[in-house]
Amino acid sequence: MSHTCSAAFVRCMDFRLTPAVEDFFRTHELSEDADVISLAGAAKGLADGKGSFLESQIDLSKRLHEIKKVILVNHTDCGAYGGHAAFASSEEEQVKHVSDLHTAKEQIQSSHPELEVELWLAYIEENGNVHIEEVA
Residue 70 or 73: the one with the smaller Cβ distance to Zn ion is 73
CB of 79 to Zn ion, least distance (A): 5
Q: How far is the CB of 38 from Zn ion (least distance, A)?
A: 10
Taking the least distance from each CB to Zn ion, the nearer of 30 and 78 is 78
User: What is the per-residue DSSP string for the chain?
Assistant: --S--SEEEEE-S-GGGHHHHHHHHHHTT-TTTEEEEE-TTTTHHHHTT--HHHHHHHHHHHHHH---EEEEEEETT-GGGT-GGGSSSHHHHHHHHHHHHHHHHHHHHHH-TTSEEEEEEEEE-TTS-EEEEE--
Which residues of the chain form contacts with Zn ion (CB under 5 A)?
12, 14, 78
In the complex, minimum distance from the CB of residue 45 to Zn ion, in angstroms, rounded to a whole number: 12
